[in-house]
Amino acid sequence: MLLTINKVLSLQEVEHCRQQLASATWQAGALTAGASAARVKTNLQVDPHCDIARALSSALVKKLHTWPEFVSAALPHKIFPPRFNCYQQGGHYGLHTDSAILRLDNGEALRGDISGTLFLSEPDSYEGGELMIETRFGAQSVKLAAGDLLLYPASSLHEVRPVTSGQRLAAFFWVQSMVASDDHREKLFSLDQSIQVLSSERGADDAEVLNLSALYHNLLRDWATV
């Protein structure tokens, strides 16, 4: 499932991130890539251990946990702390698949079910830089407004096209979902969104709303691993 969540960050929050990142410690993005990915990765990333990265990452995780559409779609069990990257002067990231297993700083393993990209630059401020994702319907090109978030399966082949002018800033992270199957998550998300609409129209005590809610939770009970 590809899902765009609009305005996760306000324009003021985006501007704060950009101001903070301007004085952060940057390093070659290939340093944090696996052996095969490093060969096709040409960008910059903020040192994840610097104070600015830690503060911005922590704030974003807190925001995500309170964002209803994100929680409904991702059903997060663990979130890999967001990192921050920059593409400029031809920087790109060739076709690759994200690692299945990631390690947190404490050594804990995290299964990468969902990839997330939060755009921090306005799309008209740079040329190129499209996030291209291979789906069962063909390649999808994504270039969102600053503050918007894209969620997509971490198992998908994807790339960032070269940025030929300007600067593309973004935050990126991974989620281990309580429901490993992308197909199951998509069904649960669709069902939950319908329940929300019907609840607002009929009331939470409506018999059909209650039946659908029971179905949702019983499916979640069958499919979730916690």
pLDDT band, very low/low/confident/very high, at 68 (cuts 50, 70, 90): very high
The verdict on 112 and 161 lying in the same domain is yes
Strand partners, 160: 93, 131
The verdict on 111 and 148 lying in the same domain is yes
CATH number of the CATH domain containing 158: 2.60.120.620
The verdict on 71 and 124 lying in the same domain is yes
The verdict on 154 and 61 lying in the same domain is yes
Give pLDDT, residue 32: 75
Minimum mean pLDDT among 34-38, 117-121, 185-189: which range? 34-38
Give pLDDT, residue 99: 93
Q: Which residues are annotated as a binding site for 2-oxoglutarate?
A: 168
The verdict on 58 and 130 lying in the same domain is yes
| 178, 185 Cβ separation under 8 angstroms | no
The verdict on 210 and 99 lying in the same domain is no
Q: What is the mean pLDDT of residues 191-199?
A: 97
Instruction: Please state the pTM of the whole predicted model.
Output: 0.94
Cβ atoms within 10 Å, residue 75: 24
Q: Taking 90 as the threshold, does the pLDDT of residue 194 lie above it?
A: yes
The verdict on 20 and 128 lying in the same domain is yes
Minimum mean pLDDT among 21-35, 72-86, 141-155, 208-222: which range? 21-35
The verdict on 116 and 64 lying in the same domain is yes
The verdict on 115 and 33 lying in the same domain is yes
CATH number of the CATH domain containing 193: 4.10.860
Give pLDDT, residue 30: 82
Give pLDDT, residue 29: 86
Give pLDDT, residue 34: 64
Q: What is the mean pLDDT of residues 44-68?
A: 97
Give pLDDT, residue 31: 81
Q: Which residues are annotated as a binding site?
A: 96, 98, 158, 168
Domain with 72, as residue range(s), is 3-177
Chain mean pLDDT for the chain: 96
Convert the pLDDT of each residue in 92-113 to its tens digit.
999 999 999 999 999 999 999 9
Convert the pLDDT of each residue in 122-162 to its tens digit.
999 999 999 999 998 899 999 999 999 999 999 999 999 99
The verdict on 147 and 40 lying in the same domain is yes
Q: Which residues are annotated as a binding site for Fe cation?
A: 96, 98, 158
Convert the pLDDT of each residue in 19-47 to its tens digit.
999 999 999 988 876 666 677 899 999 99
3-state SS, the chain, equals: CCEEECCCCCHHHHHHHHHHHHCCCEEEHHHHCCHHHHCCEECEEECCCCHHHHHHHHHHHHHHHCCHHHHHHHCEEEEEEEEEEEEECCCEEEEECCCCEEECCCCCEEECCEEEEEECCCHHHEEECCEEEEECCEEEEECCCCCCEEEEECCCCEEECCEEEEEEEEEEEEEEECCCCHHHHHHHHHHHHHHHHHHHHHCCCCHHHHHHHHHHHHHHHHHCCC
The verdict on 147 and 187 lying in the same domain is no
Domain count for the chain:
2
Label residue 198 exposed, middle or buried (CB < 10 Å: 0-12, 13-18, 19+): middle
The verdict on 153 and 190 lying in the same domain is no
